[in-house]
Amino acid sequence: MGKFDSFLKGTKIEVSDPRKNTPKLKVLLYGPSGTGKTSLASTASTVEELGPVLYIDLERGTAPAAKYGDLDNMLVVQPATYSEFADLLLKVSGAKDVPFKTVVIDTIDRLQELIKVHFTATKPNDSFAMWAATYDKVLDLVNKIAFDLSLNIICITHESREVTETERLSLIAPAFEGKQSFKKLPSIFDIIGRMTWEDVGEDGNEQLITVLNVKAPSNILTKTRFDNMPAMVGNPSMSKIVNWVHEHYDTKPEKENDDD
C-alpha cells in the first residue's frame, strides 16, 4: 500500500486494494419458489470472470440451467447427504488447481436440513451441537470458499415471512434454520437479492418478468455493497451484476470544490 508499508512491517496481515483486485463476490438470492433464483445463478457459467461453475444442487431442481447456463462450463452435482457435501468440499479445497471460479449452493436451507439430520444421527442427545452446526458450518463454508479458496460464491435459499401476533407482516427475509443464522448470516454477503415476478408494460400489454430487488423498504431484507446498482433489476443476469461491480470500483466520487 505504498506509504503504509512501514506501519505493517513485520506483520503477516493481508492488505486489500480493490482498485487492483476486485474482491470475490458473495451473493445470496432468495424468494418464493419459481421466481428465477436457479436461472439467475446458472447465468454465472456464461460469464468469463465467473466460470467454470461448480453448481451444488441439493434441491435436485436445476432444469433451468439447460436454458440459462452454459452446461459445458458448469458441473452440476447432487449430494444426497451432508457427509457427501462435506467430502465434496474437501475435494475442492484439496485440489492443487481448483477448476472452478464460482461455487453455487442451491439451497442453503436444504443444506441446513441435511446438517440437522447428520447431527441428529451422530449426536442424538446434543441438540445444542446440532443448532450450532447449522450456523457454524454454513459460515465456515462461505469463508472457506470466498477467502481460503478465493472463489466467488452464490447461495440460494427460500423466503421466510415473520408474522406478528396481530398477523401483520413484519419482515420478509431469507429462510435460515435457527435464530443465530437468521441474525448473522446475512452480514457476510455482498449482495442479498430478493427475486420476484413483476408486471411491466402499459395496460393491455403487460408482461411478467423476473426482478431482482437489492434495495427495498425496511420490512424486506435486501442489501448491496455496490451503490451504483439499481434498486430493481428486470430480467437479471450475473453478467449485469458483474458489470455493476466493476463500475463501482472504477468510479470515484468527484472532489468537492473548496471554494463552494
Q: What is the DSSP letter of 214?
A: S
Q: Who contacts 186 (Cβ-Cβ below 8 Å, separation ≥6)?
A: 28, 173, 174, 192, 221, 223
For residues 196 and 61, the model is more confident at: 196
Distance CA 146, CA 250 (A): 22
Where do the structural domains in the chain lie, given as residue ranges? 22-250
Contacts of residues 245-251 at CB distance under 8 Å and 24 or more positions apart, as own/partner, are 245/22, 245/25, 246/22, 249/18, 249/19, 249/22
Q: How much is the pLDDT for 39?
A: 95
Which of 162, 161, 156, 160 is CA-nearest to residue 191? 156
Compute the average pLDDT of residues 13-42: 85
Superfamily of domain 22-250: P-loop containing nucleotide triphosphate hydrolases (3.40.50.300)
% of residues, the chain, pLDDT over 70: 83
Could you give the residue ranges of the DSSP H alpha helices within the chain? 5-8, 37-42, 65-68, 82-94, 108-122, 127-143, 179-184, 238-250
Compute the average pLDDT of residues 157-167: 73
Most confidently modeled of 20-24, 33-37, 174-178? 33-37
CA 173-248-147 angle, 5° bins? 65
pLDDT tens digits, 29-58: 999 999 999 999 999 999 999 999 999 999
Instruction: Write the DSSP string, 146-169.
Output: IIIS--EEEEEE-EEEEE-TT--E
Instruction: Please tell me the pTM assigned to this model.
Output: 0.85
| pLDDT mean across residues, the chain | 84
Burial code (b: 16+ CB inside 10 Å, e: under 16) for 41-69 equals bbbbbbbeebbbbbbbbbbebbebbeebb
Q: How much is the pLDDT for 164?
A: 52
Q: How much is the pLDDT for 260?
A: 47
At residue 22, what are phi and psi to the nearest 5 degrees?
-65, 125
pLDDT tens digits, 203-252: 777 788 999 999 998 888 899 999 899 999 999 999 999 999 988 887 55
Instruction: Write the DSSP string, 226-239.
Output: -TTS-SEEES--HH
% of residues, the chain, pLDDT over 90: 43
Which of 240, 237, 249 is CA-nearest to residue 68? 237
For residues 78 and 202, the model is more confident at: 78
Residue 121 has pLDDT above 90, yes or no: no
Confidence at 182, pLDDT banded by 50, 70, 90: low
Q: How much is the pLDDT for 168?
A: 64
For residues 58 and 126, the model is more confident at: 58
